[in-house]
Structure 1
Amino acid sequence: MEFEMVMQELEALGKERMKKMYINNGAHEPLFGVATGAMKPMSKIIKKNQPLAEQLYATGNYDAMYFAGVIADPKAMTEEDFERWIDGAYFYMLSDYVVAVTLAETDIAHAVADKWIASGDELRMSAGWSCYCWLLGNRKDTEFNPDKLANMLVQVNETIQDSPERTKSAMNNFMYTVAISYVPLHEKAVETANSVGPIEMKREGKKSSILHASENIQKEVDRGKLGFKRKYVRC
């Protein structure tokens, strides 16, 4: 009964205002419109439950898929599992904030993210770059190869302007995250952000967003956030 009970609870937590906001960002039916914070009491009871997470993710319901990421057991997931999850991630809030976040808590994160970045597929690339953002914001600097990250900054500098729209956003976040959370390459990330300049991200049916990594980096430096690390990847 656990699956049915979770779905009923999610439906009861749904709000029309949140549903409209999610749809405005690319979600589509089925969904209930549950605020992420409203899921916390249920997640504290369930904790990690990979079989249930798989059931929920397979529904195609945005809220159920998001909650699947909250209760997933990343260490129990294989590369094939993550490929299946990214196949089901039909817009960026799933690829970058569910799949990439969950992947960032595994030992295969680097290998899978590298594969996705090289895939040429917009949301896989976006998830790959986003996964590195989650990793850099949580793991110790010593867990990364500085030469590899430096080469990734070169890749951003050379390709971001011609990349797919959601990938642009994730690459922009990568520059920012390296600059703030990976101190050994702070200067190089700042140079890259200055070289890239403002990025226009086109959005279907909406006004374009202009992304300014260099401005955002400076704001965080001014706030004393250089070297910032999160205690946990997932909330």
Structure 2
Amino acid sequence: MYFAGIIADPKAMNESDFNRWIDGAYFYMLSDYVVAVTLSESDIAQDVADTWIKSGDELRMSAGWSCYCWLLGNRKDNEFSESKISDMLEIVKNTIHDSPERTKSAMNNFLNTVAISYVPLHEKAVETAKEVGIVEVKCDKKKSSLLNAHESIQKELDRGRLGFKRKYVRC
């Protein structure tokens, strides 16, 4: 699957191709960093990611939120509906603590990404991160991780990264 991510042509893939691919992703490193990255370079990225976010399946949901992180961190702000991203921040605020573990992590990354890379909703994302507070992500045989989006955002702001955009998503 890793090699497939390198050679895939996102522009030639359709929704069923991405769905078949996510079905085979058995680990978050594949769903969030191979499938979601490749999806983010396609023209159907937002539609597919929206479907995955609503799916109820942990890795699909995680991949959907991750796809938005890759999109927001690479594309111009005017390519997104501000009201849609705002609604997504509300979903994060209201559901992150009760979401599946990998989805919590991806939602937390989404908060960070909106606050840093999507300038129109920077303030709302910072406020949402404050309201969300610390997010506990339970790991299988390890100690839980405690995620603090507000703290992470502040560190990025201190480094002057507001408005940061990647030149490329895939290597």
Residue 133 of structure 2 is matched in structure 1 by 197
In the alignment of these two chains, the number of paired residues is: 171
Shift of 1:68: 1.0
Residue 144 of structure 2 is matched in structure 1 by 208
For CA contacts below 8 A with separation 6 or more, give which structure has more relative contact order. 2
Residue 2 of structure 2 is matched in structure 1 by 66
What's the TM-score once normalised by structure 1's chain length?
0.72
Residue 129 of structure 1 is matched in structure 2 by 65
1:69-148 equivalences in 2 (<5 Å): 69-148=5-84
* Cα RMSD, aligned residues only: 0.4
Which whole-Å deviations, capped at 9, do the CAs of 1:13-63 have from their partners, x for residues lacking one?
Answer: xxxxxxxxxxxxxxxxxxxxxxxxxxxxxxxxxxxxxxxxxxxxxxxxxxx
Letter in 1 for 2:161: K
CA distance in 2, matches of 1:67, 1:149: 32
Shift of 1:182: 0.3
Residue 156 of structure 1 is matched in structure 2 by 92
Amino-acid identity (%): 78
CA distance in 1, matches of 2:16, 2:2: 19
SS of 1:107's partner is: coil
Structure ID, larger Rg: 1
Shift of 1:67: 1.5
Are 1:188 and 2:124 an aligned pair? yes
5+ residue gaps, structure 1, are 1-64
Which whole-Å deviations, capped at 9, do the CAs of 1:142-200 have from their partners, x for residues lacking one?
Answer: 00000000000000000000000000000000000000000010000000000000000
Residue 23 of structure 1 is matched in structure 2 by none
CA distance in 1, matches of 2:120, 2:47: 22
Letter in 2 for 1:68: A
SS of 2:146's partner is: strand
Letter in 1 for 2:96: I
